[in-house]
Amino acid sequence: MTIAPLTGTLEEYSSHLQRLEWQNTVLSVALITVGVIAFVLFLLYRKNRKARSLLLQKNEEIDRHHRENDEIMQILEQKKNEIEQQTLELNETTVELQWQTENALRLYDEVEQQKQEITDSIIYAKRIQTALLPEVSLVNEILNDYFVLFKPRDIVSGDFYWLSAKHGKTIVVVADCTGHGVPGAFMSILGVSFLNEIIKNYDLPVDEVLNMLRDQVIRSLKQNSAVRDGMDMALCAIDWENSRIEYAGANISLFLLREPQNESEELTEIPADRMPIGLYENNLNPFTRHVVPIMQGDALYMFSDGYCDQFGGKELKKFKKKNLKKLLLDIYALNMTEQKQILETTIEKWKGDLPQVDDILMMGIKI
């Protein structure tokens, strides 16, 4: 700007200075305004730059989320395909299982039908076996005070008892055949048939009865060293007139209880020969005949091994013969009906929930 030379009056000069001051003021205001605007623009620039940086970060995060979502979608698609494949396989397996179930049910029905037919046959066999046992009326006619504790493990039994009267003697047999169930029942029928034949047709002492019975069993079963089927047996002939018993045993001993004369005479065990009715290690030694005097009030007990071999009790052990001896000594004075009840209750309590391991047969006779 060119300053005019100082000419003219003082008033004009003063006016000129005022104009210059106003121009300076306007110029200063303009400069300040421009600075403020520049500063504001600078702040806006920085803010905009920061916003752009944040926007870029957000865009990067969004892109990353998109990539992650794409990966998740791929995984989900893969899982979907796997599930569809597994569903298809499961459907195929379900169809197979349905077929197997239907087939199993059909076979089950067939087995149940066969089982029922077999059971019906065994029940009929039980009626035949029962018919071969002594009738209660016959036993009551021959014996006054007695009991028979007979508990087959299965429907039919390999144990049997037999009774007859001949020449003033009462002949009592307790037997335990090889096995139980159907095989044992067949052996018991064989034993009963042979006893009927021998006792009816021959007048033999008890030991000879067992010898002949053994010969017939070996011959009938065609026994050799590989076949050991047979039976254990106690045979007791009570001679009422001469107050004595004749006893022979094949692995089944006889207990005699008498009013005690002293502690050692309370219970007498008459031992059996340790061999069965049948082939045994090629041992065909004759059986032993025992003759024992009896008195009124004596009690005789014969039993198979099912009672003593029953597992139970707190320690799940066998009942054993020593416990049976003690029990018989405790109940000896009772009548035979009461003794039977106690013997049956005792073995059931001993057995508990365990299965019965063998046929149980015990016979007691009060003289």
Residue 52 lies in a domain: no
97 and 170 together in one domain: no
Which residue, of 132, 151, 174, is where some domain finishes? 132
Closest by CA to 277, choosing from 267, 288, 287, is 287
Q: Are 357 and 306 in contact (CB under 8 A)?
A: yes
Integer distance in angstroms from the first to the last C-alpha of the chain? 165
224 and 248 together in one domain: yes
324's tokens: 């049976």
Which residue, of 116, 132, 148, is where some domain finishes? 132
Residue 66 lies in a domain: no
Number of domains in the chain: 2
Residue 108 lies in a domain: yes
208 and 309 together in one domain: yes
DSSP reduced 3-state for 164: strand
Residue 64 lies in a domain: no
> Quick one: average pLDDT of 67-93?
86
HEC profile of 66-130: HHHHHHHHHHHHHHHHHHHHHHHHHHHHHHHHHHHHHHHHHHHHHHHHHHHHHHHHHHHHHHHHH
Residue 355 lies in a domain: yes
For residue 181, pLDDT over 80 is answered with: no
158 and 108 together in one domain: no
Residue 99 and residue 105: Cα distance in Å, rounded?
Answer: 10
> Quick one: average pLDDT of 237-243?
95
Q: What is the pLDDT of residue 1?
A: 47
Closest by CA to 138, choosing from 162, 173, 157, 167, is 162
Residue 323 lies in a domain: yes
Residue 366 and residue 299: Cα distance in Å, rounded?
Answer: 4
Domain that holds residue 241: 135-366
359 and 240 together in one domain: yes
Where is 160: in which H helix or E strand?
strand 159-166
112 and 245 together in one domain: no
Which residue, of 132, 152, 174, is where some domain finishes? 132
Residue 221 and residue 213: Cα distance in Å, rounded?
Answer: 12
Q: What is the pLDDT of residue 9?
A: 77
**pLDDT grade, residue 155 (50/70/90)?**
confident
Whichever domain contains 179, its CATH number is: 3.60.40.10
The model's pTM is: 0.71
Could you tell me which residue, 282 or 89, shows the higher pLDDT?
A: 89
Closest by CA to 195, choosing from 151, 156, 162, 232, is 162
Q: What is the pLDDT of residue 228?
A: 65
127 and 152 together in one domain: no
Q: What is the pLDDT of residue 241?
A: 93
215 and 318 together in one domain: yes
pLDDT digits (tens, 9 = 90+) for 116-140: 888 887 887 788 888 888 888 889 9
pLDDT digits (tens, 9 = 90+) for 282-336: 678 999 999 999 999 999 999 999 999 999 999 999 999 999 999 999 998 899 9
Residue 35 lies in a domain: no
Closest by CA to 205, choosing from 288, 303, 276, is 288
147 and 287 together in one domain: yes
207 and 107 together in one domain: no
DSSP reduced 3-state for 37: helix
Q: Are 78 and 71 in contact (CB under 8 A)?
A: no
317 and 234 together in one domain: yes
Residue 15 lies in a domain: no
Could you tell me which residue, 38 or 173, shows the higher pLDDT?
A: 173
225 and 124 together in one domain: no
